[in-house]
Structure 1
């Protein structure tokens, strides 16, 4: 499947604006909005066959907000948040069978608090406590 047709236009200053299709650095393509040359709002990344690979937000060019990644089979692989290009908030990963692998929080790109790893039957395998970052 080929990428969707988007206007891919620039403004009078030569900056990308509006809806665009860009190559995805992992293969495939991604579609979303540019505002004054910066990615903004929800972007969707697609495998080369057109199936959704990931979706999430940008704010003024920075990865920001909730993101979800999908397997080529369609199941959710992981979900997590960003705050201005930094992993931030709760992250959760699942295996190909849809079983929970692990979950925990990031605080400005560093693991923080309890991170729990699960056995395939859903029981807790182990919990590791990461030091919470102090507020400056």
Structure 2
């Protein structure tokens, strides 16, 4: 039996230096177990060497750090396999590629531009659920 995945991609808008921000596209994406998906995230920054982050938030849970990208380097969190979760900064975008999709990949995904609030979950939740934040991507 084929299982369908539901992934929500939400953007957090962190003000860094005036107009610095991340932009994630809207719309629904449907994927099945074993598929590969790419979740888009573009950004605007005055920083010539930006650092971008991807996070995953499962239902009723805190956001989990997946990886960060800077320059030509990607650092994955221990919980996320590099062969399944990967991203690269390309022309002001940092698409997240998830391969060999599993049912456990169903979650909210979002990207952030440094500085983030990784050590302050109270502020992160405030930003995540504020009226200015919108859910931008459904994958199911």
TM-score normalised by L of structure 2 = 0.27
Higher relative contact order (CA 8 A, sep 6+): 2
TM-score normalised to structure 1 length: 0.27
Higher radius of gyration, 1 or 2: 1
